[in-house]
């Protein structure tokens, strides 16, 4: 894809990549993947489990990490981290639910994680958009794109965490309680752990350093753990209940999509060869072709997907994304507008739509872009790329105070604290006193300064 970019953009992108590699430790790099469809699946698959545990489903974040090893973990706080490799290893949504229920057991048990060997922070956040960095660079500021990569610093590397065996048994017992109460079969949970056990056998119990069985180094397994778990689940009336067909179909789509997005295109084409015409196969191949810059083939697969399910917003999102990232923003507008409407303004999709509107470089589209992006930040304030684009719009309108305010939001999120203070103060000085924006500028400056103070003290 890079070779399709104009020369100037290529130079900016190269500078961006060089700068990024200075900030990110490549070996430890573990980025957060954001994707509207995956996040919706996570929410719907986990909501009954969270409710059974007495949680407001919105109180716990499920975070997808770009890591091919099979693992899931909690690292303090109300978040469950799931490796992309775990999705790849699971065959049903019920297996994913089993893992979520187990991790939730660690949260409700208040289990304190042990940091085994030199914990490093995870770095980076990637939206499932192949050229996000390049696009931000195209929009004028490599720094903004860098910010996008740096936003996931709070996540911890799962492989450095571990629980005690007592904590494992207690999380297992809790998972039985939650799934039973939610009327969800524990069969997936048992099957998933059995699968991991087989990997463990194959590799001769050397789970350390064996990426396939990483789950066992964070969650130690004892011989009787599986038996206890299976005995408990088999008694449950839901044992033989399969997951809802619709949820399972969504799981298989997400699994194929992540595979297509993350794997080498030739691997995707091997796993999902062209004679397969089912939805997951086409979905995975659409990403593989897009990554290879075979735009027509990627669009053909996407059009077949849309024909099979014309109201699927994520297929439309993909069509728009392929067009946008192939330098055809004008054509991307219609599918992205539809995807945004079909999902009731899902913030990640709305941001891509806003970006396509800006990328047309047609000022007539900027008012709609502003509206869409503002709706997006109202629901998801934590996407620095959205703030960055709002800044572009304000700047284009000559609304410099609000452009500074948007920069301040983005910089605060990226922990560029000094810059955040400067942008916020510039905004505050120029905005009408007492307005919500003026107050927000004050808040940002204050919060950035307080964080800097804390950092100074901890040094
Ligand atoms: Zn565990």
Give the whole-angstrom CA distance, residue 425 versus residue 430.
Answer: 9
SS3 call for 343: coil
- CA 214 to ligand 1 center in whole angstroms: 12
Q: How far is the CA of 73 from the centre of ligand 1 (A)?
A: 7
Q: How many angstroms from the chain centroid is the CA of residue 159?
A: 19
CA 407 to chain centre: 23
- Residue 80 half-sphere exposure toward CB, CA atoms < 13 A: 27
- Please name the residue that has the structure tokens 């997907």: 305
CA of 61 to the centre of ligand 1 (A): 17
Look up residue 365 and give its DSSP letter: G
Helix (H, G, I), strand (E, B) or coil at 81: strand
Sheet with 125-127: strands ordered across: 72-74, 79-83, 61-66, 31-34, 125-127
Q: Write down the residue that tokens 């452009």 correspond to.
A: 403
Strands of 333-373, DSSP E:
none
Whole-angstrom distance, CA of residue 292 vs CA of residue 301 = 14
Residue 203 DSSP one-character state: T
> What does the alpha-carbon distance between residue 137 and residue 214 come to, in Å, rounded to a whole number?
36
Residue 38 CA to ligand 1 centre (angstroms): 23
Residue 104 CA to ligand 1 centre (angstroms): 9
Q: How far is the CA of 74 from the centre of ligand 1 (A)?
A: 9
Task: Tell me how far the alpha carbon of residue 202 lies from the centroid of ligand 1, in angstroms.
Answer: 21
Tokens 């992006």 map to which residue? 373
> From residue 44, how far is each of 97, 192, 209, 247 by CA, in Å?
10, 20, 33, 8
What is the CA(78)–ligand 1 centre distance, in A? 15
Which own/partner contact pairs does 447-453 have at CB distance under 8 Å and 24+ positions apart? Answer: 447/412, 448/408, 448/411, 448/412, 448/417, 448/418, 448/420, 448/421, 448/424, 449/417, 449/421, 451/415, 451/417, 452/417, 452/418, 452/421
Per-run averaged pLDDT (10 residues), the chain, 459 residues: 27 33 37 89 97 91 87 81 92 97 91 50 40 37 37 39 79 96 96 83 52 64 82 94 97 96 95 97 97 96 98 98 95 98 95 96 96 93 87 94 95 88 97 96 94 83
The neighbouring-strand residues paired with 121 are 156
Query: DSSP string covering 290-303, please?
Result: HHTT-HHHHHHHHH
| Residue 294 pLDDT | 96
The pLDDT of residue 214 is: 65
pLDDT of 213 reads: 57
pLDDT at residue 114, rounded to an integer: 54
CB-facing half-sphere around the CA of 19: CA atoms within 13 A: 18
Distance 37 CA to ligand 1 centre (A): 26
Distance 219 CA to ligand 1 centre (A): 4
List phi, psi (to 5°) of 53: -90, 5
Distance 373 CA to ligand 1 centre (A): 39
User: How far, in Å, is the centroid of ligand 1 from the Cα of 168?
Assistant: 5
């Amino acid at each position: 894809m890079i070779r399709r970019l104009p020369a100037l953009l290529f130079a900016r992108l190269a500078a961006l990549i060089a700068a990024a590699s200075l900030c990110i430790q490549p070996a430890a790099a573990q980025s957060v993947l954001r994707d509207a469809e995956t996040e919706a699946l996570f929410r719907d698959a986990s909501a009954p489990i969270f409710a059974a545990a007495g949680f407001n489903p919105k109180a716990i974040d499920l975070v997808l990490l770009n890591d091919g090893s099979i693992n899931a973990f909690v690292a303090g706080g109300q978040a469950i981290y799931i490796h992309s490799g775990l999705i790849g290893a699971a065959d049903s949504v019920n297996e994913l639910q089993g893992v979520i229920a187990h991790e939730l057991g660690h949260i409700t048990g208040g289990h304190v994680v042990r940091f085994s060997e030199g914990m490093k922070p995870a770095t980076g956040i990637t939206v499932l958009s192949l050229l996000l960095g390049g696009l931000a660079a195209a929009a004028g500021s490599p720094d903004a794109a860098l910010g996008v990569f740096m936003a996931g610093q709070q996540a911890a590397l799962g492989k450095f965490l571990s629980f005690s065996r007592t904590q494992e048994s207690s999380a297992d017992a809790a998972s039985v309680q939650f799934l039973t109460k939610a009327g969800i079969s524990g069969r997936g949970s048992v099957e998933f752990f059995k699968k991991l056990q087989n990997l463990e056998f194959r590799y001769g119990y050397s789970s350390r350093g064996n990426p396939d069985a990483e789950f066992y180094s964070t969650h130690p397994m004892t011989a009787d753990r599986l038996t206890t778990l299976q005995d408990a689940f088999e008694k449950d009336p839901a044992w033989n209940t399969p997951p809802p067909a619709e949820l399972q179909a969504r799981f298989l789509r997400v699994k194929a999509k992540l595979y297509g997005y993350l794997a080498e295109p030739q691997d995707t084409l091997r796993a999902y060869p062209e004679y397969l015409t089912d939805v997951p196969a086409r979905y995975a191949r659409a990403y593989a072709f897009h990554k290879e810059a075979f735009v027509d083939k990627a669009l053909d697969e996407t059009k077949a997907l849309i024909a099979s399910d014309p109201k699927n917003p994520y297929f439309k999102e993909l069509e728009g994304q392929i067009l946008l990232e192939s330098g055809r923003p004008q054509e991307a507008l219609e599918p992205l507008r539809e995807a945004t409407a079909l999902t009731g303004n899902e913030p990640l999709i709305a941001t891509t739509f806003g970006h396509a509107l800006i990328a047309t470089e047609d000022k007539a589209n900027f008012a709609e872009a502003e509206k869409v992006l503002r709706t997006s930040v109202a629901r998801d304030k934590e996407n620095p790329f959205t703030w960055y684009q709002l800044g572009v719009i304000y700047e284009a309108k000559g609304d410099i105070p609000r452009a500074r305010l948007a920069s301040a939001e983005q910089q605060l999120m990226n922990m560029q604290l000094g810059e955040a203070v400067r942008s916020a103060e510039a905004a505050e000085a120029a905005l009408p006193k007492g307005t919500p924006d003026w107050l927000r500028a004050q808040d940002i400056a204050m919060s950035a300064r307080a964080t800097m103070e804390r950092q100074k003290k901890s040094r």
